[in-house]
A and B are shown apart, each in its own frame.
Chain A
Amino acid sequence: MMPQVHKKIISISFGIFSPKQIVDSAAAKVVTPELYDREGYPVDGGLMDLRLGVIDPGLRCKLCGQKLKECPGHFGYIELARPVIHIKFVRQVYDILRSTCRSCARVLIPDENIKKYIIFLNNLGAEEGYESRRRKIREIVAKYKLKETCPHCNTKQEKLKLEKPYNFYEGEVRLSPIEIRARLEKIPNEDLEVFGFNMAEFRPEWLVLTVMQIPPVTMRPSITLESGERSEDDLTHKLGDIVRINQRLFENINAGAPEVIIEDLWDLLQYHVTTFFDNEVPQLPPARHRGGQVLKTLANRVNSKEGRIRHNLAGKRTDFSARTVISPDPQISLNEVGIPKDMAMTLTIPERVTEWNKEHLKKFVENGAKKYPGANYIIKADGKRKTITSETKDEILAEIEVGYIIERHLMDGDVALFNRQPSLHRMSMMCHRVKVLPGRTFRLNPAVCNPYNADFDGDEMNLHIPQTEEARSEARILMLVETQLISPRYGLSVVGGIHDAITGNYLLTKELVLSREEAVDMLYTCGVDDFSRLPNKEKLDGKEVFSVLLPKDFFFVGKDKSGNEVKIVGGVLKTGSMDKSNLGQESGLMLRNIYEKYGESFTADLLGKISKLGIAVLSRRGFSIGIGDMDLSAETVEEIHSTIEKSEEEAMKLISLYHKGQLEPLPGRTLEETLELRILESLNKARNKSGDIAMKQVHYSAALIMARCGARGNALNIAQMTAIVGQQALRGRRIDTGYRGRTLPYFKEKDLSPKARGFIKNNFKSGLQPYEFFFGAMTGRDALMDTALRTPKSGYLYRRLSNAMQDLKVEYDGTVRDASGKVVQFMFGEDGMDVSKTKNGVLDVKRIVQQVVEDVQ
């Protein structure tokens, strides 16, 4: 049922209290700086007056009669012996005083123009806000100020100066707050409109305090120390100072003390009142405790990072959450998260006792908080919470009855939300099932690294435990890992096999022949126990073993990474081998098709099995990489050398042509540009050619297998290791910076040869020449700087974008609208396509039609 609305807030206006309002709303007048009497009972008329609220258990508020936590506290007031200026309004007082006459207190604008300006200023205020309105007033008044006399009473105007923080001087004479208040009082209501003040709710003299509001004790509670001593809040200390000085001032005035003493006390009062509001006023020494610690007064409570706004409102924190380092565990399933036992014993799930689970839950209480699986708290039917300890255990066990809630330890199968910052897309926070494990880190299946963008070089992640049944089902239905398999960004699987999973399956489906025993063994490790689909032969092809995992009625035609056809007929892999393009993340076309036909949980399950199979294959076959993987035959090395040398000669030829002035410039290019382009072209050709030669000739090794199936590394990496590192480029050009006319002192000036301009003809295995290494370091440093500078920039760009679009929604009429109902698109994406139902943004209509026709037949 919706709660009934009794009063609806239409608008809120901010203003300041008048002295009358302060007095009227006060529960008590504070007259004495004493807090407690000899019995430790709050003094009437003191700062802890019982009418200001209760902070002691057992006592009742004298005003409202409510107990602790019920009484919200009430404001009090003190009457100041002499007025003081409110530090937060010094600016406004200054502006008003400067813009009004010192004698008649009218605005220094001629009568005939006031109306005109009011309209003008009101418009400005409505359009550009209060700040620019105030700036404009100052400009206008400054215009009339030039005349130096009041346009109303012709009094000569004196120059008014503000001596920070709160002293006003007219010429050489200091204006006391009394005088200031008197001037403000005289300003007629009509003239206030110029300043944009609402006459009905505001008078400028209220900016100078004659009475001061005392905040309720509930917002400045005192704490009782272990020694039984009471320690008062900073605000109470400050208020005590104010009251004390105020009393002294009163007494001195009544006793007719000399003006100097009164002035001094008055100044002191002004100081205390000022630091009560804000203890970080420039030019003013902050008020301190006796120990020298700076007092935290009103403004300090709100401001800055530790203040109410950034710390408590914007930075709210949750219970039932945890954070630690993550590490991989390929043995747990995709939708599980491994949680350290210690954590599982702190995080709890509330379970309500019913007739049917009473005995079951009692076991947890019996185990207590220190034995897993136990329980930490019980909540009685009346809402009272009890800690389970060895002392209270027996008592609690006896009293447990239906309706109690037991906060038991986290157990296998509970749901948890798992998250890694920055949370850039919805897959950054997914629901996992808990698996309690030994150790001190969170464990996750390496296949879900991609959506979280996590690795294990020290990354930490957060975990939240939903506490209500509603929250748990919502998390399960909407956020479980399986439901997030397909990215809404490009319509492909975001999770998929990685590294060893891909390599293993590639080897299996490409070349392995297993004995029946081996095959059964491997399949069993990845969770298959039905071997009826395994062909009844002694020697089994790897493809046949892999096919056991596939559903019987699965048909698929696609391509592998190198462009060969992959064909699956009736759940049997006929041709092609499994590699990144069918199993990998952000591609995984076969997986995508499985998802479409068999649904999310089947896909997640299959992916787990495939990954485990890959790992099983590798651990059985063995898979190592070494420097020998980079070996090339002598002839190949020779071939590569001659290729590089040929293109180097070509480059030298171009250079000599250039020096002779015989080089033909390309259209739209200078001679130098032409030379650079043609050299680059020839060197790149050499690199590509020798890379190709190397890829073909490098013997069949682990590194090559990984590059071929897309598990890790690519052709370029292998070419750089075996054949040639190639030209280093800085800002899209060959390296040309450094010394005058040359890159390094090792070279001659104006040497344009490939070698002198960052061409590395060695490979990583043969080792680099010192100058080559230096060029490599130059580009390496540049790349590092570039990423370091670009990451925060693109991060901020993304943040702005996602904030701007965060509550756009597709309405039932198909339009995309923002929260206020404004149309952004008339159809989602202008084509109405749900990307997550497409494959890489393409909807294969022909295939769908074919499918439907087949189904009908």
Chain B
Amino acid sequence: MAFTTNHHQLVPKHTKLSEAEKAKLFEQYVVSIRDLPKILKTDPAVAKLSLKSGDIVKIERESKTAGVSFYYRGVIDG
């Protein structure tokens, strides 16, 4: 039985970026997927998203000082 973390209050919202969003992200920050922080596709927080290597996950974190902050991580195998 796989443990899902998705509804835990401490796990921020993880979503997969569409191809268009991906292109926009790359353009905005002038980066390629190699330059992004990584996340394993087996990571419990994204296990349900059925990702493959090369995808990008967007994480929406809530914070006291910033409201919502976005974070992007490139998916890798493993």
Contacts and interface: CB of A to CB of B under 8 A. Distances in A.
B65 A826 contact: no
Contact of B69 (A813, A823, A830): A830
B36 A827 contact: no
Nearest to A817: B35
With most chain B CB atoms within 10 A of its CB, the pick from A815, A823, A831 is A823
A830 B29 CA distance: 15
A821 B63 contact: no
A831 B65 contact: yes
Contacts of A825: 71
Contact of A831 (B30, B35, B69): B69
A284 B66 CA distance: 68
Scoring A824, A831, A832, A833 by chain B CB atoms within 10 A of each residue's CB, the highest score goes to: A831
Contact of B29 (A826, A831, A841): A826
B30 to A, nearest CB: 7
A20 interface: no
Interface size bucket, B side? 10 to 19
Contacts of A843: 65
Interface residues of A, number: 16
Given A813-B30, A815-B29, A821-B35, A827 B65 contact: no
Nearest to A820: B35
A471 B9 CA distance: 52
Interface in B1-47: 28-31, 34-37
A831 B37 contact: no
B37 A823 contact: yes
A669 interface: no
Contacts of A833: 65-66
B66 A831 contact: yes
Contacts of B71: 825-826, 830
A832 B68 CA distance: 12
Interface of A is mostly: loop
B35 to A, nearest CB: 5
A38 interface: no
A823 B29 contact: yes
A696 interface: no
B29 A813 contact: yes
Contacts of A817: 35
Contact of B70 (A822, A824, A826, A841): A826
Query: Looking at chain B's contact residues, is the secondary structure mostly helix, strand, loop, or mixed?
Result: mixed
A824 B69 contact: no
Contacts of B37: 822-824
A817 B35 CA distance: 9
A823 B65 contact: no
Contacts of B70: 826
Interface string B58-76: 0001010110011110000
B65 to A, nearest CB: 4
Contacts of B30: 813
Contacts of A826: 29, 69-72
A844 B69 CA distance: 20
Interface in A804-857: 813, 815, 817, 821-827, 830-833, 841, 843
Contacts of B36: 822-823
Contacts of A823: 29, 31, 35-37, 72
Contacts of A821: 31, 35
A348 B69 CA distance: 53
Nearest to A830: B69
Name the residue among A827, A830, A833, A841 with the largest chain B CB count within 10 angstroms: A830
B61 to A, nearest CB: 7
A824 B36 CA distance: 7
A685 B66 CA distance: 42
A120 B29 CA distance: 39
A821 B35 CA distance: 7
A827 B65 CA distance: 13
B38 to A, nearest CB: 10
Contact of B35 (A813, A822, A841): A822
B63 A831 contact: yes
B31 to A, nearest CB: 6
A843 B28 CA distance: 28
B13 to A, nearest CB: 15
Contact of A830 (B28, B31, B66, B72): B66
A833 B65 CA distance: 8
A169 B48 CA distance: 63
Nearest to B66: A831
Contacts of A815: 29
A619 B70 CA distance: 58
Nearest to A841: B65
A540 B66 CA distance: 49
A190 to B, nearest CB: 36
A822 B37 CA distance: 8
A841 to B, nearest CB: 8
A823 B66 CA distance: 19
Contacts of A822: 34-37
Contacts of B65: 831, 833, 841, 843
Contacts of B29: 813, 815, 823, 826
A106 to B, nearest CB: 40
A828 to B, nearest CB: 10
Contacts of A841: 65
A830 B35 contact: no
A823 B29 CA distance: 9
A584 B21 CA distance: 50
Q: Which of B61, B63, B65 has the most A CB atoms < 10 Å from its CB?
A: B65
A90 to B, nearest CB: 41
A306 to B, nearest CB: 43
A827 B72 CA distance: 11
A815 B29 CA distance: 8
A827 B31 contact: no
B66 A832 contact: yes
Contacts of B66: 827, 830-833
B35 A827 contact: no
Given A830-B69, A843-B65, 19 more contacts: A821-B31, A822-B34, A823-B35, A823-B37, A824-B37, A825-B71, A826-B29, A826-B69, A826-B71, A826-B72, A827-B66, A830-B61, A830-B63, A830-B71, A831-B66, A831-B69, A832-B66, A833-B66, A841-B65
10 cross-chain pairs, A with B, having the tightest CB-CB distances, nearest first: A831-B66, A830-B69, A831-B65, A822-B35, A823-B35, A823-B36, A821-B35, A830-B66, A831-B63, A826-B71
30 contacts: A813-B28, A813-B30, A815-B29, A817-B35, A821-B31, A822-B34, A822-B35, A822-B36, A823-B29, A823-B31, A823-B35, A823-B36, A823-B72, A824-B37, A826-B29, A826-B69, A826-B70, A827-B66, A827-B69, A830-B61, A830-B63, A830-B66, A830-B69, A830-B71, A831-B63, A831-B65, A831-B66, A831-B69, A832-B66, A841-B65
Interface of B: 28-31, 34-37, 61, 63, 65-66, 69-72
